[in-house]
Chain A
Amino acid sequence: MRGDGGIEERFADYVRERGDHHLRVAVLLTGDWHAAEDLVQASLVKLYRAWPRLDTDADPDAYLRRIMVNTHRSWWRARWRREAPAAVLPESASGDDMADRQALGALVRQALARLPRQQRAVLALRYAEDLSEAEVAELLGCSPGTVKTHAHRGLRALRELLGGEFDQLAVNETRAPQRDSG
């Protein structure tokens, strides 16, 4: 059990160290940076309330991840957040400069936003959080087989939305400098 003294400071340290990581996952869930910020902040408030009760060996990432998934699900059901409709996506891309890379990022987020919520959540948790099918299934309250199906359909839909150059886009990205997304 964490001591009372320094709880807030430990929580603040956690947010500083891991906040951006969860913000990046949240933007894949929501398709929009501002909605992602709202989701993460709302989830962090809930985590903060639970912080004193967390076991000393608990993984706050896992707690926050569950809170975010559940909060996003409830927002989706209530349609409290209107997610921006995505336009038709272009067929080609280049990754040569900052504007192109920003635009590519916007396109990928838009494509994700067009997927059904469950497919989006599975793709974000599998390929941005690197969770196993079993871990994703436990978070979403479904079977690993369902996770596999959502992943397969989501990947196929992304490929279709991003055009026939899906792999070319990724090849370009493998050549671009990579940031540590942790």
Chain B
Amino acid sequence: MNDTEEAVRHLFAAATEDIPPGVDLLRGVRARSRKRVVRVRALVAAGTAGIVAATAAITLSAVSAPSALAQVMQAAARTGATSYRLSATERIVKIGGLRSQPWATASGVFDPAHRVGEETDDQGAQVRYVGAYMYVFVTDDLRAASHIMKGTPIPDWASWERFPSSLGAGAGASTAGLAMLGRFPALLGQFDPQDLLGLLKSATQVREVGPASGPGWTGTAYAYSAATRLSGGPLQLSVSSSGTVDVDQQGRVRRLDALESFDGTVRKVDITFGDFGLPVSVSAPPASEVWS
């Protein structure tokens, strides 16, 4: 066996050891043998802008309870349409040309219906969403990166950079995130939770794995995988995500624990949602500090 073959064997071992929780092949075989299966193929629509819907396979059991896929998709839509508070830990694990980043703790409040939101983390990152725009605080890292990336560096007088925002009720994986990637593909310290909820709506494989609970709520945990392709102007981006999502009895997402892959980056994120319906007030930074 040569070195390359040996290397591949080791890499395949790494690629195959993390079997997701809740996989029960025997139960699945028995279920397939018993249930009446109706498979619906959804159309994949591609355009030059907006979101590409993923192809979905929906399995309906003989008992007409909502499928796991439907439960998760509805929860994502319901959560994305209300205001909420979030807390998260995240880590960019793999990124083109850069080593893994340390864990960051983030918190924020969002009101998609009124197109406002705010998020900060313990690495100094800040993002404000106000109407049609997203304002990103220019950290030292961001400013330094702008000087080595292709394009115009952020001027010294600017404390914020402005991007178009698609934060809104029911918004999905966004071209705003894409715009950020276009500028700083290697430095996505922030994330738009609506992007993540939108990605859930593109889930193609969902399976119930057991009960879930948290302070003041109980519900169900699901394992999922999702993928979509974003198009915005000249930019194309494939995004995939897999992990577990907890949905409470009111059909809202309470927790999202996911591994996301996009544009040479792999990100681990663990988000909790709560305080649904809270009032959210966010102001844009002073215009004199904003560069776009």
Contacts and interface: CB of A to CB of B under 8 A. Distances in A.
Interface of A: 12, 15-16, 19-20, 23-25, 27-28, 32-35, 37-38, 40-42, 44-45, 48, 80-82, 84-95, 99-110, 112, 123-124, 127-128, 155, 158-159, 162, 166-167, 169-171, 173-174, 176, 178-179, 181
Contact of B25 (A44, A81, A104, A123): A44
Given A85-B238, A90-B94, A178-B10, 18 more contacts: A16-B26, A19-B25, A33-B225, A38-B205, A44-B25, A45-B32, A48-B29, A82-B55, A87-B238, A94-B99, A94-B100, A104-B94, A108-B11, A110-B240, A173-B13, A174-B10, A179-B17, A181-B16
Contacts of A174: 6, 10
Contacts of B265: 87, 90
Nearest to B92: A103
A37 B239 contact: no
Interface in B115-153: none
B159 interface: no
Contact of B8 (A93, A127, A181): A127
Question: Which of A81, A159, A173 lies at the interface centre, i.e. has the most chain B CB atoms within 10 A of its CB?
Answer: A173
19 contacts: A24-B16, A24-B19, A25-B16, A40-B25, A45-B33, A85-B229, A86-B240, A87-B239, A100-B94, A100-B100, A103-B259, A104-B11, A108-B14, A124-B12, A127-B12, A128-B12, A155-B5, A170-B7, A181-B13
Contacts of B91: 99
Contacts of A100: 93-94, 100
Contacts of A102: 18, 93, 259, 268
A84 B227 contact: yes
A94 B96 CA distance: 13
A90 B12 contact: no
Give the 4 A-B CB pairs with smallest separation, nearest first: A170-B7, A34-B205, A24-B16, A84-B227
Contacts of A170: 6-8, 10-11
Main secondary structure of the interface of A (DSSP, over half): helix
Nearest to A88: B264
A109 B20 CA distance: 14
A166 B11 CA distance: 9
A97 to B, nearest CB: 9
Interface of B: 3-20, 23, 25-26, 28-29, 32-33, 41, 44, 54-55, 57, 91, 93-100, 204-205, 207, 223, 225, 227, 229, 237-240, 242, 259, 261-266, 268
Given A23-B23, A87-B240, A106 B16 contact: no
B210 to A, nearest CB: 16
A149 to B, nearest CB: 15
A35 to B, nearest CB: 7
Contacts of A95: 14
Contacts of B4: 155, 159, 167
A127 B96 contact: no
A48 B26 CA distance: 11
Contacts of A89: 264
Given A37-B23, A102-B18, A105-B18, A15 B29 contact: yes
Contact of A181 (B17, B225, B239): B17
A104 B17 CA distance: 11
Contacts of A82: 44, 54-55, 204
B145 to A, nearest CB: 16
B15 A42 contact: no
A28 B16 contact: yes
Contact of B19 (A23, A28, A101, A173): A23
A112 B15 contact: yes
Nearest to A158: B8
